[in-house]
Amino acid sequence: MVVAGKEVPSRHPDCQLILSKSAAMCKHILNAQVAIRSPCCKQWFDCAECHAETQDHPLKKTIEMHFLCKKCKKAFRKDMSNYEESDEYCPHCDNHYVIEAKTPQAVLGVEGDDPRINARMLKDERVKMDPSRSLFAVDTTDRLG
């Protein structure tokens, strides 16, 4: 079976599919919870953009969708003509797969904590170090042992 353009072993195409981590990543939607089987080429993709990038034909639209849960790795079908609120969950593991998608965005930022929020562990740079309290002073090392 082919998933996102890669061959992946499976027991049965509609029952269970073992996804490798490299084949299960989508660069368009960061938190994709299910893979969708395209009805035109019978391959699994995380989103329509992934299908458009790898295939040379447009995505065929259908009423019955085939999904593959990424949590329990089991496939299931949903009829989109009578879609209900309870259909937002995987029927096998109750994973909520209809969630707000997080798309990658370029952000300029500095890593690290803000010292204004939690300054308990920060050294006060205004206080000068006393040279007589050095760990490497001769009289101090004699007292240490």
Can you tell me the mean pLDDT for 81-89? 82
Specify if 59 maps to a domain. yes
Specify if 12 maps to a domain. yes
| The two structure tokens encoding residue 53 | 């990038």
Q: For residues 56 and 37, is the Cβ–Cβ distance under 8 A?
A: no
In this prediction, residue 13 carries a pLDDT of 45
Specify if 70 maps to a domain. yes
Specify if 76 maps to a domain. yes
In this prediction, residue 84 carries a pLDDT of 82
Specify if 105 maps to a domain. no
Residues paired with 66 in a beta bridge: 37, 77
Specify if 83 maps to a domain. yes
Residues paired with 67 in a beta bridge: 36, 76
Specify if 65 maps to a domain. yes
Specify if 22 maps to a domain. yes
| The two structure tokens encoding residue 74 | 């089991």
Q: For residues 16 and 73, is the Cβ–Cβ distance under 8 A?
A: yes
pLDDT in tens, 90-122: 888 888 877 776 666 776 766 666 666 666 666
Structural domain of 32: 2-88
Whole-model pTM: value is 0.50
Answer yes or no: is pLDDT of 39 > 70: yes
**Separation in Å, CA 132 to CA 78, 100, 128:** 76, 60, 12
Q: How many domains does the chain have?
A: 1
In this prediction, residue 111 carries a pLDDT of 65
Pick the closest to residue 76 from 137, 123, 14 (CA basis).
Answer: 14
